[in-house]
Structure 1
Amino acid sequence: MCSLLLIAPALAAAQSGSVPKDVLKLTVLPGWRTTTGTHMAALKIQMKPGWKTYWRAPGDGGIPPQFDWSGSSNIRSVQFHWPRPEVTNTNGMRTIVYHNEVIVPVEFTPAKPGQPLTLMGRVDLGVCNDICVPYSTSFSATLSADMTKADPVIRAALAKQPMSAAKAGVRRATCAIEPISDGLRVTATITMPSTGANEVTVIEAPDQNIWVAEASSVRSGNTLTAITEMVPPSNAPFMLDRSKIRITVMGSKRAVDIQGCTG
């Protein structure tokens, strides 16, 4: 048996108002134990019509979601499988969001294979309508190792992930890195077919504490060039592992997830 939960959130007030109590509901979908021994579950986030929350890399105007699993047991690692988000522009500022509802598959690797997982989690995220405010909620569940039937709802969410680089025909991704006064400038050059009109490139650092500017990008045939700047808390140049840079390219036809680049 799996216990599902939704706990009343701690609401944060904004100057122009506060979040309605029923604006967001978070449910743990228990999922199943996979053939490789991991457990595929999901977080279902439902919002009132017109409200939105942010993707893992929300843009300069967004609040990135932060998860804390410290109260959980039998968890060795956690991997999120984020569905493709929406790219919006408000007052000249790009944000990357989900409207109304999103199901985020979460894959857990047990520390003790074959044993149940106990989730005691907390998430801090941003929710927006006319105002944007931080929002926190806790959740818990027990995920049994006996659950082996795949959930079609979670499978559908997994199918909405950006394509892998290999599947999308990415032939090469290189990153040139140069120091700037307060960090690094990263120029990514990617050989890949177009993802469609209104192509947007998002570059992520391996450490969420590093601020990453909105990338500017230009395409010439099968070559996409994107430039961004990364600024760490120290406001100084730093060592950056290219293999851990993550690049997402989103266009009108598809989205592509590129894990790492070379020099």
Structure 2
Amino acid sequence: MKLLWKSTVAALATTLCIGAPALAQGVDNLVQLEVLDGGKTTNGTYQGALRLTLKEGWKTYWRAPGDAGIPPQFDWKGSGNIADIAITWPTPHVFDQNGFRSVGYVDQLVLPVEITPKNPAKPVRLRGEMDLGVCKDVCVPGRLDFDHTLDANAGRNPTIAAALAQRPFSEREAGVAGATCHLTPTADGMQIEAHITMPSAGGAEFAVIEPGNPALWASQPKTRRQGNTLVASSEVISASGGPFALDRSEVRITVLGANHAVDIKGCSAG
């Protein structure tokens, strides 16, 4: 479990956010954060969510925000009686931002979290901080605090259920027959070219490649179709600038289409 997660490439992503950062403005008047209760599940976990409500027209970012976004980061270390936290990311939108593509959400984000307690007989307290960026004409980085004792007796929350239903399809659900990744050294790092055999996700498909290592950063992929195969290529570099190894089993590829999204975990040699 990672109760404290800080991306080592956050500074790199922040520099790519388009627009002058309005540090003095802060985010308190642009976005509100609240913890939603979804009660206790049949397997003993707690279902909750972080709901971000943004000022009209403002957007925030997905876990892999593209070349023009600020990745969200979470610090859960103030929480109590937590053994594990699992986040389900709803399918994001792709935005054009001054010639760059960013990936995120407009107006609202409901982020479901499933919490496994250390001691099922004791209350669960969700307390921590979320570092995030919100953008419109300018990009504003900031930090929001949350502190909430989860209600084990809360009923099913339709807002959380709707967010869970918006998750990307699994490989099986989307009919993915296979995914391979070919790696080629470059002057600055490594090129990864993924070949995914799958039906179309609809319209102009856009792939996002995550290296699986927080010390690595992947550029905006070029995506194209070759019949029943989607090809996505990207360059991966290290934040340190030094050599690195890329574990194909840790690579995560998300395909965003007009009809649905697909979450692909790992790829074989190709």
TM-score greater than 0.5 by the shorter chain: yes
Q: Deviations over 1:81-105 (max 9, x none)?
A: 1111110112210011211111110
**Cα distance, 1:21 vs structure 2:** 4.2
Aligned residue in 1 for 2:148: 141
* TM alignment of 1:1-263, pairs within 5 A: 14=21, 18-19=25-26, 21-144=28-151, 146-147=152-153, 149-263=155-269
Gaps of 5+ in 1: 1-12
User: Secondary structure of 2:85's partner?
Assistant: strand
CA RMSD between the two structures: 1.8
- Structure 2 Cα separation of the partners of residues 241 and 30 of structure 1: 37
**Cα distance, 1:225 vs structure 2:** 0.9
More displaced 10-residue stretch of structure 1: 93-102 or 237-246: 237-246
**Cα distance, 1:240 vs structure 2:** 2.0
**Cα distance, 1:182 vs structure 2:** 2.8
**Cα distance, 1:20 vs structure 2:** 6.7
Q: Deviations over 1:187-230 (max 9, x none)?
A: 11100000111110000121233111001111111101111111
User: Secondary structure of 1:31's partner?
Assistant: strand
**Cα distance, 1:112 vs structure 2:** 2.2
Gaps of 5+ in 2: 1-19
Number of residue pairs matched by the alignment: 250
Aligned residue in 2 for 1:3: none
- Structure 2 Cα separation of the partners of residues 75 and 179 of structure 1: 41
Q: Is the 8 A contact 1:120 1:139 kept in 2?
A: yes
Query: Do the aligned partners of residues 206 and 114 (structure 1) sit closer, same or farther apart at CA in structure 2, a change above 3 Å counting?
Result: farther
Query: Do the aligned partners of residues 154 and 17 (structure 1) sit closer, same or farther apart at CA in structure 2, a change above 3 Å counting?
Result: same
- Structure 1 Cα separation of the partners of residues 75 and 27 of structure 2: 24
- Structure 2 Cα separation of the partners of residues 42 and 15 of structure 1: 28
Amino acid at match of 2:111: V
- Structure 2 Cα separation of the partners of residues 207 and 150 of structure 1: 35
**Cα distance, 1:17 vs structure 2:** 6.7
Q: Is the 8 A contact 1:184 1:237 kept in 2?
A: no
Q: Is the 8 A contact 2:32 2:52 kept in 1?
A: yes
User: Secondary structure of 2:37's partner?
Assistant: strand
User: Secondary structure of 1:234's partner?
Assistant: coil
Aligned residue in 2 for 1:5: none
- Structure 2 Cα separation of the partners of residues 147 and 176 of structure 1: 49
Deviant stretches of 4+, over 6 Å: none
User: Secondary structure of 1:56's partner?
Assistant: strand
**Cα distance, 1:260 vs structure 2:** 1.3
Q: Deviations over 1:167-200 (max 9, x none)?
A: 0000101112222233221111100000111110
Q: Is the 8 A contact 2:23 2:141 kept in 1?
A: no
**Cα distance, 1:114 vs structure 2:** 4.0
Aligned residue in 1 for 2:7: none
Amino acid at match of 2:36: L
- Structure 2 Cα separation of the partners of residues 37 and 105 of structure 1: 16
